[in-house]
Amino acid sequence: MIEFRAAASDGLTADAIVVGVGEGRRFDATGAALSEKMPWLSAHLDEAEFTGKVGQVAVVPGGDAVPYRKVALAGLGPAPDVEQVRRAAGGAARSLSKSVTVATSLHRAVPAAAEAVGGGFVLGAYTFTRHKTEKKPSAIATVVLIEGTPAEVAAAAIGGLVGDGVNLARDLINEPAMEKSPATLAARATAIATEFGLGIRILDEKQIVAERLGGLRGVSLGAANPPRLVELRYEPPGATAFLAVVGKGIVFDSGGLSLKTADNMETMKTDMSGAAAVFAAIRTIAALRLTVKVVGIAPLTENMPGGAAMRPGDVVRARNGKTIEVLNTDAEGRLILADGLSLAAEQKPDLILDLATLTGAISIALGEKIAGLFGTEDAVEAVAGAAAAAGERVWRMPLPDDYRKNIDSDVADMKNTGTRYGGAINAALLLKEFVGDVPWAHLDIAGPARAGEAEHYIAKGGTGFGVRTIVELARRMG
């Protein structure tokens, strides 16, 4: 974990320094002082066409005139906000991966930016190297806030702690499917529970049947690795609210008998991104000692086309007794979430939030960087506010009652596919059948859960999307 500390500018030395630059090359006081000592800098930036636009990062050698081997200039644009500061810190961290000690003045770029600086550095320094023969992790060990106050250092450390939680989710998502069977992920959850004193309940394949989790059982039938359901509980003294989070945990999705194409299977180790976010968020909430009770539920299974696999036309009965006709075995996430949501609703929390890489339709609607947000009014407003504060982009989607007929079944209470159009809405309407009267929000994270290329604090691969929103939601509820 990166250490955050403060130091006066006089006499400070570090391997590198990061300063924010507004559009039009507007330097802060630290940047202005550096530029006076580097008279060649302006011409260099002209050649590099660096103007301070959002996303630009220019790294130049410090030279003999300044006490830094490298100087990183991070663009903040014309009107910077906290998220742009977070991205600037992340982009600089990626560019300074060989530096051990990095000084920065970014925490003064906008009010209350220190937490974003801490999160940005930790997220930007992330690499997944477990399976690399030659590992090249980031060397950044210390970030120094120039003239930082104790409160700013504490805020940066909190941002770093949340960033570490996101990176845990990224590690779980990026792991190959053969290394994260349902039982293996359940063991990881047990380790988290032991470390942070959490309650935990794990259901094996026999207990899943006994607990009437028909959706999870049905999806698991074709897999050689048996399913698990993990329930983590954080119950601090004096908790003032109760949040339930449910995460889709398909550790590999072949599509089942409704088999995906080879190309579409390449990223399907990431189909458990919702469950990874749940594990990481609860660990972070416990580390922050937030005064909110949280239960995290993760149904875990592979979706495989084995000889015993669920067939199109089969009917499963979920935990709350409602039946679902399965017409497409590749629409399996909603089946396991039906059980997870039913279990959550039985406990009568103040709010249920589920996260799932659920539909390709949401990516067609919103692209690859924005999650679709569905649900009941109060819950949606709370989650949208938390996501905005956390810097994770979501967009409110409709949930019209007259679309419910799209999932009517001739033989069961509903079917798991609807009309071709409005696929993300049809899936959310199915989930709504399993939350009862509890305030509920659903995040379809199929787009932003994985990134095809690196940018600012986002690394290629699993992004850990949703962790920051869950943590911020818990902070606000507590």
Selection from 149, 75, 166, 72 nearest residue 112 by Cα: 149
For residues 365 and 58, give the distance between their C-alpha atoms in angstroms, rounded to a whole number: 34
Question: How far apart are the C-alpha atoms of 338 and 430, rounded to whole Å?
Answer: 8
Instruction: Determine the length of the chain.
Output: 478
Phi/psi of residue 100, nearest 5 degrees: -90, -45
What are the catalytic residues? 260, 334
**CA 216 to each of CA 223, 252, 418: distance values in angstroms, whole numbers, following the listed order:** 12, 14, 20
DSSP at 416: S
Query: How far is the CA of 267 from the CAs of 272, 299, 415, in angstroms?
Result: 11, 20, 26
> Do residues 306 and 221 lie in contact, with contact meaning Cβ atoms separated by under 8 Å?
yes
Q: Measured between alpha carbons, how far is 174 from 134 in angstroms, rounded to an integer? A: 18
Q: If DSSP states are collapsed to H, E and C, what string results for 444-463?
A: ECCCCCEECCCECCECCEEC
CA distances 314 to 219, 309, 328, 364, Å, are 11, 10, 10, 29
How many angstroms separate the CA atoms of 362 and 397, rounded? 10
CA distances from 231 to 253, 298, 468 (A): 22, 6, 20
Q: Cα(114)–Cα(32) distance, rounded to whole angstroms?
A: 21
